[in-house]
């Protein structure tokens, strides 16, 4: 496959342990690395070549051993309107018990 020089340059920066062509051979793996290691400028370039569905696919089934929580958060910033992901912690609002209303015996309330 023939890739643009711009895309190959980004692939070389992100995937330093192989050739850019090897990096792009497996798009989900490449995008997992991109959402972990790419700069904002690199992501802007990648969005010219990959759509939201490509990024979603990498978020839904990331290559093993690459993502951590912050990488997943970066990926969420790249895409829009994604459903909650298994890495995202559910947020529970602390349940603080409310004091019960004070009720006085009827005889005390009338003798004021």
CA 105 to mean position of chain CA atoms: 57
* Gap between the Cα atoms of 34 and 40, Å rounded: 10
Instruction: Decide if pLDDT at 72 tops 70.
Output: no
* Gap between the Cα atoms of 109 and 111, Å rounded: 6
Domain boundaries, the chain: 1-79
Report yes or no on whether pTM surpasses 0.85: no
pLDDT of residue 92: 42
Instruction: Decide if pLDDT at 83 tops 60.
Output: no
Question: Do residues 58 and 32 make contact, with C-beta atoms less than 8 angstroms apart?
Answer: yes
pLDDT of residue 66: 84
- Which two tokens mark 40? 């904002």
pLDDT of residue 90: 42
* Gap between the Cα atoms of 40 and 74, Å rounded: 10
């Amino acid at each position: 496959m023939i890739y643009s020089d711009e895309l190959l340059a980004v692939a070389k920066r992100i995937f330093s342990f192989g050739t850019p062509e090897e990096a792009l051979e497996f798009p989900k793996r490449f995008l997992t690395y991109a959402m972990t290691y790419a700069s904002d400028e690199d992501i802007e370039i990648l969005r010219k070549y990959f759509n939201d569905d490509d990024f979603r696919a990498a978020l839904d089934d990331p290559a093993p051993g690459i993502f951590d929580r912050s990488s997943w958060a970066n990926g969420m910033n790249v895409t829009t309107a994604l459903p909650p992901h298994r890495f995202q912690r559910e947020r529970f609002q602390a349940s603080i018990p409310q004091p019960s209303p004070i009720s006085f015996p009827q005889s005390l309330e009338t003798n004021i």
